[in-house]
Amino acid sequence: MSIITTNNLHKIYDETIVPVYAVNGISLEFDKGEFTAIIGPSGCGKTTLLNLIGGLDQPTKGEVIIDGTNITQLKQTEIIDFRLKNIGFVFQAYNLIPVLTAKENIEFIMQLQGIPKKDRDKRVIDLLEAVGLKDRMNNRPSELSGGQQQRVAVARALASKPKFVLADEPTANLDSKSTNNLLDIMLKLNEVEGTTFIFSTHDSRVMQRAHRLISLEDGKVQQDQKIK
């Protein structure tokens, strides 16, 4: 069953001057439990598509439906609340809060959701164990390697038990060992917990692990291939 549907999705910049079609009529469906990579050259629309699916940007035309909710019709305050409860994000630049420890960074989303401390503590410990960082829970981002910071970011994305996780070039700043460790963790979470991951990526190592490859060019889907 589809948890994400995009219908004739467009994002056009500079409409009144020289229109740039960042996303140009994309219609896709994503099922629960997918491990999908959106690929293509720089400027093809990968990040824009992820931002539209995640409600970080509004389409010029078309709609995004998540588990029956048309998020393109939500007010700004409603979309913020919807993202908080339903979508996990992993960014290329980690986006951790520098003054907070790894534990506090992961816990932050759950605090916003009003989850009781006892439940927060258990969830954080479970996630830190899952990403292999239980012994670094009290370290701040500056005391962690890039790979460790990105693993904290993955744990943070999963903290609220989202319907799916959007990962925008999550391995771009990592070395090979850190990349492989991170992808192994994400694939295990996908297989064991059924977590849905949708990546935008140039990284062949992500593509090799993906179960579905969606290739974009000039804002359009060129190929949509299920691998396994």
CB atoms closer than 10 angstroms to residue 41: 12
CATH (domain of 159): 3.40.50.300
Cα four-point dihedral sign 202, 172, 186, 179: positive
142-175 pLDDT, tens digit each: 999 999 998 999 999 988 888 899 999 988 888 8
Range of the domain at 106: 2-226
What are the CA-CA distances from residue 56 to residues 9, 80, 91, 112, 191 (Å)? 14, 9, 12, 18, 27
Q: How many domains does the chain divide into?
A: 1
pLDDT in tens, 84-138: 889 999 988 888 999 999 999 999 988 888 889 999 999 999 989 888 899 999 9
6 pLDDT tier (thresholds 50, 70, 90): very high
Structure token digits, residue 139:
């370290």
Beta strands in the chain, from DSSP E residues, in sequence order? 2-13, 20-31, 35-39, 61-66, 69-70, 87-90, 164-168, 197-200, 212-217, 220-226
DSSP secondary structure code for residue 84 in this structure: H
Distances (CA, A) of 125 to 92, 105, 156, 203: 24, 12, 12, 30
